Amino acid sequence: MLDTDRYDAYFFDLDGTIFLGNELLPGVEKTLAALREKQKKIMFLTNTTVQTRTACQTRLQKLGLAARREEIMTAAYAAGLYLQENAEQARVLIVGEPALEEEIASFHIKQVQDAEEATHVLVGMDRGFTYEKLQQAADAVRKGAHLIVANPDPVCPVPGGAIPDTWALARAIETAGGASVWAMTGKPSRYYAEQVFQQFHVQPERCVMVGDRLETDILLGKNSGMKTALVMTGVTTSRELEATEIQPDYILPTMEAMVQVE
């Protein structure tokens, strides 16, 4: 049974956990309000690269959820932190949407369009992905550019199904470029977890990771020493849960169960 009084901080995935499309999922508002009333720390951890932290904040506010930008970590922002710390003089060819470009620009990292100039190729979700983009990215990788992937999500849940996400594009670039991914900065990477703990000043054992994906949300929590809670409102099915070795500490039908089980 999840006793919310036992932990100091709660980390929530967004898509499939907090909302789906433009709708809050059941029990979300009630659960977050209860946790904030208990003065628990809350942070939203998303693998999105198609929204900046500011855009995520605005989206949550439009859905009636108060959130500070500092309470949001995206895969795009984590990629910027990684490049800033590990390749400050990088020349980055981005495969992604304007939000990823904007987030990387906020770190004053040089962006290039020519494969000949690139030292790194950064891949995020790109709903405008073309053969030309694949060619440029593959050429850069073949010439020695490091392939950085913002997140390992093969698909993104949307109302009525799912659409291809970052990892599908990264695999195409790997295949065409003849080189493997150099680094992955989003969930469930250790780098992502370390950034969250540093920015929020919390100890892993005092945190709960809540999400709908076993291979990103739950694995992030388990690999970094957090307790984990899987909500069955997103991509993971009961059959998939039974078939995997990645087992959460808690299984919740909806977010509302977090406050009902106490």
Residue 151 and residue 49 in contact, taking contact as beta carbons nearer than 8 Å: yes
Is residue 13 part of the annotated active site? The answer reads yes
Q: What is the DSSP string of 173-185?
A: HHHHHT----EE-
Known binding residue 62? Answer is no
Q: Is 217 an active-site residue?
A: no
- Taking phi over 0 as left and psi of -120 to 50 as alpha, with beta for the rest, 26 belongs to beta
Q: Amino acid identity, residue 199?
A: Q
Catalytic residue among 13, 139, 165, 217: 13
Nearest to 94 by CA among 145, 37, 161: 145
Asked if 177 and 140 count as a contact pair (C-beta separation under 8 A), the reply is yes
Task: Tell whether 15 is in a known binding site.
Answer: yes
Question: Which of 3, 5, 15, 114 is labelled catalytic?
Answer: 15
- Alpha-carbon dihedral of residues 33, 38, 40, 42, nearest 10 degrees? 0
Closest-CA residue to 151 (of 78, 87, 244): 78
Burial of 105 (0-12, 13-18, 19+ CB in 10 A): middle
For 184, the token pair is 């992955």
Binding-site residues for substrate sit at 187
Active-site residue set: 13, 15
Binding-site residues for Mg(2+) sit at 13, 15, 212
